[in-house]
Structure 1
Amino acid sequence: MTDQAEESIANRAVHHGPVALTSSIRSTDFLRNLEPWRRSKEIDQILHEGAVDLNALHAAAERRPPQRDSSFDQYRTDDWTSAQENLDEDELIIAGQEVMQAWERPLMHRMAAIATRTHGDVLELGFGMGISATAILAEGVRSYTVIEANSHVAERARAWAAERPDQTITIVEGRWQDRIDELGQFDGIFFDTYPTSEEEALAHNVEDTFYAEHFLPAGARHLRPGGVLTYYTNEIDSLSREHQRIVLRHFTSVEIGVVEGLLPPEDCTYWWATSMAVVALVR
């Protein structure tokens, strides 16, 4: 290969609307086993997808007012498990933190439908406002089990279960990391927990590719063959390549859909877009 060809492959640029992305590859051995035209094509495709994603992100952000600044100091609490809850019809707040809000109802119902596909045994991580739990039972299941870390929310979950004596319901109080291996396998798992500390928020909201990533090994371990895991994705309308690679390390396939028309309030600190991707990971 000529020096000019090497230079052309090593330095690529893609423009899409107001976004321009460039690559600078500093190793002549990078992708050396591919033909030059294919190397260029693959690099250009990645740059193009990045530019398209940035434009899509901008378009979504333009549909809402500017967000107020927040920091991870909000996740600091002495003991999440005993922190008092404040619940009304619009939101659940624990230790001053927005844990769940009513705008999530369409999302929770869609995820409940995914987790209950086989109408078998379903495990939920995080009871929250009880929206998804009620939707799961409405879909029809053999049994419903939930792990809830906060003692006040767990007590409310027990009261909710007592109102449904004809259902097979198990409430497990504690952190899922401490309690899940006491349980067996399930046909569906619904994962929607909340960081209980500043350390968890930084590790899983910032450093991980997506929040539920740290749960995937346990989720796969506790699903029966053909079972389905769904979780709160924090993705607007698709999954990134890295997100897909990570889930496919643990599951045989991933199905992706989108819930449109979400209306988080302007002061919501944990979501801002009018849509969210939903997933079904099949073991």
Structure 2
Amino acid sequence: MLRTDRLTLAYGSSDVVHELSLTIPAGEISCLVGPNGSGKSTLLKGLAGLIAPRQGEVLLEGQPLSLWSRNELALRLAMLPQKPIVPESILVRDLVALGRFPHRKWWQRDGREDREACQQAMYMTGVEALAERPVTSLSGGQQQRVWIAMALAQQTDILLLDEPTTYLDWGYQLEVLELLVELNKSRGLTVIMSLHDLNQAAQFADHVMVLENGQIEAAGTPGQVITETLLARVFRVRGVVSLNAEGRPFCMGHGTSDPDRPCRA
């Protein structure tokens, strides 16, 4: 289980996440939503142990992240940033194999278990046929699948993703989100991701957490959280929330609730 206790995260002297306490439901898809600058990316980095808390703590299995070694932590959770950097000329199979580093000593070569884990990860993400291709030759959606394959080869129970659909066209966005749902159901993988699109969060998440100014404004199922009141209060949008054919909320915006509000960059 991953949770925070009065967590404060900061860059320099500026607090971004303020005394935040939350529990991530194990085995579910949790989605962070909120306006730009609300602290979504910072919180994900904090949950992954990439930012040291100014105050409070992040706990994994009841133990503060500061007490876990980097290798032990890498065996339990994987983090995909919003803009991962592709090593020049690397092939798909070699990038996926990077996910196996926590499972062996630095001087050891890939063993049978490593190769099988990579093969399984590529099979699950549908990139087996791309194994010998340079990652940079692939489309954005294919590259995202390769990064997810690398994380799966790491064989963790928790996967954190910072806006995994950014820069992808609509079809690829849905393809990546459907893949995460499939992995959650087939492997019991705990998924924690940030999204900009409220309707995608409503459609694919089990648990939604709304951040504003570094604090949780609402948390619960999509139906509990995504309301017309929330649209107006947090996103400053006049809109209607209805239910789709699957009984999940669907938002339709009609304009800003404050016409004089400056545009967010």
TM-score by length of 1: 0.28
Name which structure has the greater RCO, CA cutoff 8 Å, separation 6+. Answer: 2
When Rg is computed on C-alpha atoms for both structures, the one with the higher figure is: 1
